[in-house]
Amino acid sequence: MTPASTPPPFGPQTLVEAMRSRGGALDPHVLDAFLAIPRAAFLPGVPLERVYQDEAIVIRRETSGSVVSTSSQPGMMALMIDQLRLHKGHNVLEIGAGSGYNAAIMQWLVEPGGRVTTIEYDSQLAEQARDALQRIQMNRVTVVEGDGAAGYAPRATYDRILATAGIWDVPRIWVKQLRPRGLIVAPIWFAGGQYSAAFQLQPDGTLYSERNLPCGFVHLRGVAAGPEVDVQVGGGSLMISSGHLDRVDSVALHMLLDADAQDGRLGLTLKRGDVTFSLAPFLAMNLPDDNVFALYSVLTDQQPFGLDGPGFAVIGKGSACFVPAEGQGRATVFGGADALLTAQDAVSAWDAAGRPPVERLRLRLSPINGAPPAPGKHGRVFKRTEHYLEAWYG
């Protein structure tokens, strides 16, 4: 009798189990696609133990060491694909091919009759993705080398468009290449970070998203990259991220942080996850205009300027307040107390509003050729390249 073969210790089943262990409602049909498509085919040379973890894997860096592209975290991929609501026969455009793995997952989901086109800015990555897709006989996926900001007119119109890079705005040309009532899922910059928004095209030409998930992706490259949203301070040991860095003088901030710091308190306790899943959007929408909301992280084992993190910051003129996300409401204050007082007021308003969760966050993009929308209570309107971004709680 031939002994039963031993299953490999790491494979698609390992990955799906890891994704399930993180919790969250993942579509069983989407998980079937992750079982069917071997991630290892898109990450040659990477140990299987790493390949089949629910983690992002860097696949290309610049000579400076900065990350150009990753194979996204499969669990986040699954959530975004769930936002897309793919059906058999759908015509899909992906912005950012990366390894090609995500395109293969989507192609499996839209068959029979559907097709996926994926655009990659980096020519070497495009060729590698093309080769990997051919190896697993995903020949209906078309890999296009180019700038995703232009979409891909030859295969329009699309039922769904997915961006796997952090965007500042949705290019209007994507909207023109989308079917009526189609969906654009993209990680859009907001509140110092990114939120995977599921924008549905409305009859009036606006894009509305009711489900917005915190996430983190490499920035979109090319003509639609948008402004810088990250700045390193203190010899690169402190990273500050904000959609309003144009209002932050990094030299003046560095000088401010070099001064003596004082300890402060917010006046209430923050729990794990409060900043990411509730507080950050609220502060971004409710801080006074003369203050900047930012997220920060410490990039070394040291504590630059006495800070630990990650956390959030309120930066004003001549004053800054840094609050670690898991510091139980502790704050580090630089300059005067103005930034701390502003942070205390805003956090108290957040608490009084019932600490609204990210599930209540709503986003709408309106073409910039019209009048800006009027923000409602606890809402705000931000001007982007081609749209006004309106954020509020539903």
pLDDT at position 3 over 60: no
- Is there a catalytic annotation at residue 72? yes
User: Is residue 292 a part of any domain in this protein?
Assistant: yes
Q: Are residues 134 and 264 in the same domain?
A: no
Burial class (CB in 10 A: 0-12, 13-18, 19+), 276: middle
Select which of 72, 196, 278, 366 is catalytic. Answer: 72
DSSP state of 279: I
Q: Are residues 111 and 157 in the same domain?
A: yes
Q: Are residues 49 and 121 in the same domain?
A: yes
User: Is residue 179 a part of any domain in this protein?
Assistant: yes
What are the DSSP calls for 87-101, one per residue? Answer: -TT-EEEEE--TTSH
Confidence of residue 42 (pLDDT cuts 50, 70, 90): very high
169-178, 235-244, 297-306: range with highest mean pLDDT: 169-178
The H or E element spanning position 75 is helix 74-84
What are 172-193's pLDDT values in tens digits? Answer: 999 999 999 999 999 999 999 9
Read off the pLDDT of each residue in 224-243 and give the average, rounded to a whole number: 88
Q: Are residues 184 and 300 in the same domain?
A: no
Per-residue confidence (pLDDT) for residue 25, from 0 to 100? 67
User: Is residue 206 a part of any domain in this protein?
Assistant: yes
The CATH number of whichever domain residue 207 belongs to comes to: 3.40.50.150
pTM, two decimals, is: 0.92
The rounded percent of the chain whose pLDDT value lies above 70 is 95
Confidence of residue 133 (pLDDT cuts 50, 70, 90): very high
User: Is residue 104 a part of any domain in this protein?
Assistant: yes
Q: Are residues 205 and 244 in the same domain?
A: no
Q: Are residues 207 and 246 in the same domain?
A: no
Burial class (CB in 10 A: 0-12, 13-18, 19+), 371: exposed
pLDDT mean across residues, the chain: 91
Confidence of residue 1 (pLDDT cuts 50, 70, 90): very low
Q: Are residues 171 and 272 in the same domain?
A: no
Q: Are residues 119 and 245 in the same domain?
A: no
Confidence of residue 5 (pLDDT cuts 50, 70, 90): low
pLDDT at position 23 over 80: no
Integer Cα distance of 60 and 42 in angstroms: 13
Number of domains forming the structure of the chain: 2
Read off the pLDDT of each residue in 21-44 and give the average, rounded to a whole number: 89
What are 7-16's pLDDT values in tens digits? Answer: 567 889 999 9
Integer Cα distance of 40 and 230 in angstroms: 32
Q: Are residues 25 and 135 in the same domain?
A: yes
What are 320-347's pLDDT values in tens digits? Answer: 999 999 878 899 999 989 999 999 999 9
Read off the pLDDT of each residue in 260-278 and give the average, rounded to a whole number: 91
Q: Are residues 34 and 153 in the same domain?
A: yes
Query: Which of 155, 187, 215 delimits the end of a domain?
Result: 215
What are 63-121's pLDDT values in tens digits? Answer: 666 676 888 899 999 999 999 999 999 999 999 999 999 999 999 999 999 999 999 99
Question: What's the domain range around 166?
Answer: 12-215
Read off the pLDDT of each residue in 274-291 and give the average, rounded to a whole number: 93
